[in-house]
Structure 1
């Protein structure tokens, strides 16, 4: 579960980490009051609150130097969908803005904590090259990316913090400042069951303060049962409605930009299915893993979610009948096609237990279901169906 920037910064402040002063507004008329009545000054930063990076390049972060410009930015952003290179093609709805004070910045850095799956440890990543181009820095100048792995028993040690501080070119009191911040961030990360904590940029102001200027935070979904403090922070408006419906149905669904709907059991098989669709000239419309214990009801709900995407022009069902027999899956497909009223070509590839009986049921159903003999055949037939051949 992702948090908005303003929510993440509230958590940072609870761990005595300095952030800019700011206030959240949901109505353009409140932006002026937030700036003049609370923040003061004659310049402010207006930030669209969405669950995606790349806001600055997309116009979602604006420096304004007058009340008129502030009001213009608020009207331009609130109630719209902001499209960045990190979110879905339709963007994400902006219902809140964070209006913050401006700070005199002397230098910018990058700092994050994340789970390193290869070593099964928390990794602290830092770079002296902070800001909007950090992804490019990681690709073109990997030597500028610093990394420390935390012992799962001992945690982040002070010598590791100093290693990072010296690697960032810090000196004097800033070494201690970064050490205290990193130790606090590690406690926040582990105590809150976070999967990602990113501060970009971490800045040093002209008067020597170390400030978390921006923050992205993600919580491990598997830990939400014990992290009650996050219960009211979820924002489903930032998630594709189909993904919300899939979560409620116990399905793993991610919307994509293509036109071939995919329904597969098993994440690895789903990835292979999408790869083959791409290989044969098609574009998958989604990732959808119905799980190993898919039932007729599960299949029907999956069809409804897939077909709620108006771009879908064909559906590829790829099921390996291991835990669930192929004849039961065939019954579910037939029931779903009848119930949902599918109007696009449906290509089905079954393999596993009772596969012959499953194919027989599909053939005798009287429905326009295209049976495939293998995964490659299924991908080719789905692409051909979309292309009208």
Structure 2
């Protein structure tokens, strides 16, 4: 689950991470009024979307007066902002954040992700922070340094101090902030925490100028306090409907509808589709809690997608998601739809044979393959 910048910094502030003074506004008049709540010499108006790359797309504007803040908010609100991360459809701007513009002496990039090998928080950092960080990182991947950051303690402090010194960050204050950010990352089950820029002001203070957080959707059952944020994360109506039915779905621009259980298998399947010369119409992750009726809803969303020409079903049954449960979902969806796209299926694991029998007995237009490569190749052929 993606959080906007305003939500991300609000969460970090609860853990003691310094952020600029700011307020959320949903109209130009409200934006101007918000300025009186934190008088500043200069303001910055930021479009609140979940994708990155706003600065290069006109989604971050500076303003010298409250009336100028209102003007900038008027230009942004209600528009669709297209960045390098939104795709061609862009993202609707329903709110802006009005913040104090700070004088920055130095800017850095820091982020936390989960290290897949150790299961521990990994700190990523670079001396090349700011709006053009991604372009610089693509040109020189070595600009980002990494370390496993253990819980706060003398040994972890020494290791962090040495690591930060190599990228030009010194002093106790930035260490305190990064340990606070690590605690937030662990406590709230984040999948990604990115602070860019992590900046030192002209007065020597360290501040998280911008932040982006992705929460682990599979861990939301541990965090009922985040449930109200689900409807505010900027998802499309289709993606929201999928979320309500225990399916993680991201629409894409291709013509192969992909039905997969598991995020890792979903990513691998999409990669194989691209490698075979095809283009996925979506990314899908059927959660372990999804029922056959939930799966039917997700498949129906794919059948309703005009670009889709074929359904690629790649399922490994295990745990709480058996192959026959997914097959039942396919059957339910097809029984309710007038659109009967061909299905290319590869089923393995728990109840795989039963799942294949369901698809054939229910007269789903299915071709079955024993290997992922065989199924992907046939789906790309049919889509072409």
**Matched positions, count:** 377
Q: CA separation in 2, counterparts of 1:294 and 1:34? A: 43
Structure-1 residue corresponding to 2:15: 15
Corresponding residue number in structure 1 for 2:210? 214
**CA offsets 1:178-198 (integer angstroms, 9 cap, x no match):** 222223223333333333322
**Superposition deviation, residue 57 in structure 1:** 1.3
Q: What residue in structure 2 maps to residue 118 of structure 1? A: 117
Query: In structure 1, how many angstroms separate the alpha carbons of the residues matched to 2:176 and 2:151?
Result: 19
With over 3 angstroms needed to count, the CA separation of the structure-2 counterparts of 1:178 and 1:309, relative to structure 1, is same
Q: 1:281 aligns with which of 266, 277, 283?
A: 277
Change (3 A) 1:105 1:299: closer
Residues 40, 66 of structure 1: CA spacing in aligned structure 2 closer, same or farther, 3 A cutoff? same
Aligned-pair RMSD on alpha carbons?
3.3
- Answer whether contact 1:300 1:339 (CA < 8 A) is retained: no
The structure that has the greater radius of gyration is 1
Q: Equivalent residue for 1:224? A: 220
Q: 1:314 to 1:226 in 2, by over 3 A?
A: closer
SS at 2:55 equivalent: coil
Q: 1:45 maps to which residue?
A: 44
| CA distance in structure 2 between the partners assigned to 1:6 and 1:339 by the alignment | 41
Contact 2:43 2:62 in 1 (8 A): yes
> Given the alignment of the two structures, is residue 257 of structure 1 paired with residue 256 of structure 2, yes or no?
no
* Partner residue, 2:107: 108
Deviation, 1:238, is: 1.1
What is the match of residue 179 of structure 2?
183
**2:48/2:96 contact within 8 Å kept:** yes
Q: What secondary structure does 1:312 align onto? A: coil
Counterpart CA distance in 2 for 1:92 and 1:156 is 44
Say yes or no: does 1:193 pair with 2:193. no
Aligned to 2:333: 336
Shift of 1:264: 3.6
Residue matched to 2:165 = 166
Conservation of the 8 A alpha-carbon contact between 1:317 and 1:349: yes
Deviations 1:320-377 (A, max 9, x none): 6788567x8766545432311115x323335542588557536xx4x7x253556556
2:299–2:329: 8 Å Cα contact kept in structure 1? no
Shift of 1:268: 5.5
| Pairwise CA distance, 1:107 | 1.4
Q: CA deviation at 1:115?
A: 1.6
Contact map agreement 1:48 1:97 (CA 8 A) in 2: yes
| Per-residue deviation, 1:88 | 4.3
Give the equivalent residue in structure 2 for 1:28.
Answer: 28
Q: Is the 8 A contact 2:246 2:289 kept in 1?
A: no
SS of structure 2 residue aligned to 1:196 = strand
* 1:302 aligned residue: 298
Distance, in Å, in 1 between the alignment partners of 2:355 and 2:225 is 48
- Kindly report which structure 2 residues correspond to 1:77-116, keeping only aligned pairs within 5 A, or say none: 77-116=76-115
Aligned partners of 1:62, 1:156: CA distance in 2, in Å?
A: 42
2:154 & 2:98 partners in 1: Cα distance? Answer: 35
From the superposition, tell whether residues 386 and 100 of structure 1 become closer, same or farther in structure 2 (CA, over 3 Å): same
- Distance (Å, rounded) in 2 between the aligned partners of 1:79 and 1:123: 37
- Spell out, residue by residue over 1:90-123, the C-alpha distance to the aligned partner (whole angstroms, 9 max, x if none): 2222221101111122111122222212222112
Q: Distance in 2 between matches of 1:190 and 1:314?
A: 40
User: Unaligned 5+ residue runs, structure 1?
Assistant: none
Q: Does the C-alpha gap of structure 1 residues 253 and 155 become closer, same or farther in structure 2, counting only changes over 3 Å?
A: farther
CA contact (8 A) 1:265 1:294 kept: no
TM-score by length of 1: 0.82
Deviation string, structure 1 residues 243-301 (Cα, Å, up to 9, x no partner): 32223222342222112212245556544543443344331101234478987535532
* Partners of 1:329 and 1:358 within 8 A in 2: no
